[in-house]
A = this chain, B = another copy of it.
């Protein structure tokens, strides 16, 4: 018999919202008439780019770390991440006085590495292609120190923390008299989307939840089609460094399977165009992975199920200036 996979309830998300209040930012839900006109829909933008550490990841990390016992806090935490979860854990650890070791790929964006170090974390690098996996390195460090490993997505407290994005979106939309027919958010391991789906389905059962992933990392789409978790063999990189998980999570997949209405995939070119539109029309700095849902919307790939109001999560804004400059100049 398999071990029971924990799930996440709406009550968990409400509890997470209380825990992170005053620490995480209630990011604004932004509307741009110019964007509405361009896509012929009402678009409500959840700007998690304006969250602490520049991405939604702080929510889940803080919700996880604040629940550690004093003894666990003293031993510290270990996480592995290409960047945004790294920063989320590093900042949450700093705020709570917990030592943190973060294992990052040696080709992670410089801004993400620098920020993680800036929050005081002990950063260790690994090579994506050679030697031990990051999971193995993190497990080793954790064993040495008896430290707690903080997963990027496959943890109910992490999912519940990310779910507060959905909680806020639905309530902020209601506050301006809008009803979200569809909510679209990027998928890596599925923590954000599973959390948003759980919140949205509880507060607004008619809202359709749509995930977006890079075409080259369509593991969730494949998994949902097959009805079980699929691990893909990536054929290269994506602009979306934050969305390169090759499989959905053990906890996140069943939630997405129950609650996600559709998954769209986007190309690097569509992502770059979305970053340019966010720059010129929204005046927001968005990283590639953070722009995936907007990219799908602009490419006409977000299924609207007959509705006309869509919530789009811009999930992060941590992007190297040189790469961003290339995107603006049409060279990426």
The CA of A93 and the CA of B325, in the complex, are separated in Å by 34
A328 touches B321 (CB 8 A): yes
Nearest first, the 10 closest Cβ-Cβ pairs linking A and B are A283-B317, A325-B325, A321-B328, A28-B28, A283-B285, A49-B283, A325-B328, A325-B329, A279-B285, A54-B283
User: What is the minimal beta-carbon distance from A114 to any residue of chain B, in angstroms?
Assistant: 10
Contact of A284 among B25, B276, B283, B321 (CB under 8 A): B283
A321 touches B317 (CB 8 A): no
* A96 interface hit (Cβ, 8 Å): no
* A30 interface hit (Cβ, 8 Å): yes
* Contact partners of A209 in chain B: CB under 8 A: none
Given contacts A25-B31, A32-B50, A324-B328, 15 further A-B contacts (CB under 8 A): A30-B50, A33-B52, A34-B52, A49-B283, A111-B280, A279-B321, A280-B321, A283-B284, A283-B286, A285-B285, A321-B328, A322-B328, A322-B329, A325-B325, A325-B328
Binding site for B on A (CB under 8 A): 25, 28, 30-34, 49-50, 52, 54, 111, 276, 279-280, 282-286, 317, 321-322, 324-326, 328-329
The CA of A321 and the CA of B49, in the complex, are separated in Å by 20
* Contact partners of A52 in chain B: CB under 8 A: 32-34
* Contact partners of A322 in chain B: CB under 8 A: 328-329
User: What is the minimal beta-carbon distance from A92 to any residue of chain B, in angstroms?
Assistant: 12
The CA of A57 and the CA of B276, in the complex, are separated in Å by 23
Q: CB-nearest residue of chain B relative to A31?
A: B25
Can you list 10 A-B contacts with CB-CB less than 8 angstroms, sorted by A residue number? Answer: A28-B28, A32-B50, A32-B52, A49-B283, A283-B284, A283-B285, A284-B284, A321-B328, A322-B328, A325-B325
* Contact partners of A326 in chain B: CB under 8 A: 325
Contact of A276 among B25, B34, B283, B321 (CB under 8 A): B321
The CA of A204 and the CA of B49, in the complex, are separated in Å by 31
User: What is the minimal beta-carbon distance from A83 to any residue of chain B, in angstroms?
Assistant: 14
A283 touches B50 (CB 8 A): yes
Contact of A329 among B34, B49, B280, B321 (CB under 8 A): B321
User: What is the minimal beta-carbon distance from A286 to any residue of chain B, in angstroms?
Assistant: 8
Q: CB-nearest residue of chain B relative to A323?
A: B328
* Contact partners of A325 in chain B: CB under 8 A: 324-326, 328-329
The CA of A52 and the CA of B282, in the complex, are separated in Å by 9
User: What is the minimal beta-carbon distance from A203 to any residue of chain B, in angstroms?
Assistant: 22
Q: CB-nearest residue of chain B relative to A53?
A: B34
* Contact partners of A324 in chain B: CB under 8 A: 279, 325, 328
